[in-house]
Amino acid sequence: MSSRHFVFVAGRWECESVAAWDDVNADAASLRAVFQDVSAFTVSMEASRPQNGIQLLLSAEQEAQHIVNTAKNAKMARLRQAKEEAEKEIAEFRAQMEAEYQRKLAESTGDSGANVKRLEKETDAKIEQLKAQSSSISPEVVQMLLKYVTTVKN
């Protein structure tokens, strides 16, 4: 598997294939070597046979063009393949992140129902506690109110 680098660009994840660019650089180097060989070959052939020089040059040019076209097609195929692989990996990563998000969302939503029940129990307990406190001090409050109502001050 080739090395991949994920980058977040313009609001989406993209994958850069390091191997694809290494292949492109290797193709460029091999093309330079082919052109140097063809140039050296045509120069040496021209010196030995002046009458066939033009024909040789044309055939060398055609061969070089064929090599260049083959290399370009191979490069485009590798780039297409790298792009497809990157898109596939991005889609898998996106699906994985979406599944994780949905799982966490379901957990928090599921806990919400449990939280509501827990809060209802706590509220009921607090209400009962307040009722118990009020009933325990209720006679004292009634006595205090009666005292103030029945006492006359000059």
Residue 60 counted as domain residue: yes
The pLDDT of 108-132, averaged and rounded, is 86
| Choice between 73 and 26, residue whose per-residue pLDDT is larger | 73
What pLDDT is attached to residue 1?
47
Each residue's pLDDT tens digit, 36-59: 776 666 555 555 555 678 888 899
Domain span at 59: 4-129
Residue 94 counted as domain residue: yes
Check: CB of residue 60 under 8 Å from CB of residue 42. yes
Residue 25 counted as domain residue: yes
With CA atoms as reference, report the closest residue to 23 among 85, 72, 88. 72
What is the value of pTM for the model shown? 0.40
137-144's contacts with Cβ under 8 Å and 24+ in sequence apart are none
Residue 90 counted as domain residue: yes
Residue 54 counted as domain residue: yes
Residue 51 counted as domain residue: yes
| Tokens standing for residue 66 | 């064929």
pLDDT at 144 over 60: yes
Residue 70 counted as domain residue: yes
- 97: enclosing H helix or E strand: helix 53-150
Residue 140 counted as domain residue: no
The pLDDT of 115-132, averaged and rounded, is 91
